[in-house]
A and B are shown apart, each in its own frame.
Chain A
Amino acid sequence: MIIAFTLLLLFAASDLPFRGDPDNQMNQEVSMTGTPVPGNYYIQEAYHDAHTPNIVTVILGDYRAIDTLGEQIVIFTAGLITFLLLRNRKEGEEDDE
């Protein structure tokens, strides 16, 4: 079954476009539906907007800052949930003793 799956993946990978080809759809400035692609703007203007060489940092910290705020709040909420759940369990164990 693993061999069959590997053959399936290899068959699919043989049909992929060559990586780095400028004519690929993912490297175009206009998407298939005719709208401009935002990633193109990010790559061209990230350094002028934030003077930061790392484009990923600019996208995560500036253009998509609310998304990163959401991720941080998710982590904070996870910490608070473990605090609340495990604190209650500890009190219950003390009651049993």
Chain B
Amino acid sequence: MTNRSPSPIVLLGTRFLSPYIMVFGFYVIFHGHYSPGGGFQGGTLLAAALLLIRIASGTKLAQLQFKDYLARPLAAFGVFIYFGTGLLALLMGGYFLDYGELPIPGLEPAYLRYWGILIIEIGVGLTVMTVLTLIYDNMVKGEDYA
């Protein structure tokens, strides 16, 4: 298992490509207010950037980029961001997921809704990215070379 070294060309190519896919994923998440996109699509692109490195270099080397034990807590944290945003609006006197009641000072309700949508998109993107990485990690556990 150890004497089988991955191709350096593939590894360098994916190391070159992965950050750009990641930047595009962040762009899709944060630009979802103005163009097609959002948490699901951006999270899928972020997961693609992580899985590219994992496929090319193997799971062991890819731990430098994203540790596999971080996937489950971060997925739960993404759901918690979404649910906590809704619950915070509920506790501040509005309805569940009513972003107009979020306690961010100095903003009128329309801009509070703007930021509320952005916060939940980040939560969705985090969950989608980590769950897709988690599924890959579990499927190849102990079976990939390098």
Chain A interface (Cβ within 8 Å of chain B)? 48-54, 56-58, 60-62, 65-66, 68-69, 71-73, 75-76, 78-80, 82-83, 86-87, 90
Contact = CB atoms under 8 A, between A and B. Distances in A.
A72 B78 contact: yes
A41 B35 CA distance: 21
A25 B121 CA distance: 33
B5 interface: no
Given A57-B33, A62-B116, A65-B120, A51 B139 contact: no
Interface residues of B, number: 41
A71 B32 CA distance: 17
Contacts of B121: 57, 61
B36 to A, nearest CB: 7
A60 B111 contact: no
A61 B38 contact: yes
Interface stretch (B8-16, B57-65, B125-133): B125-133
B79 A60 contact: no
A73 B113 CA distance: 22
Contacts of A57: 32-33, 38, 117, 121
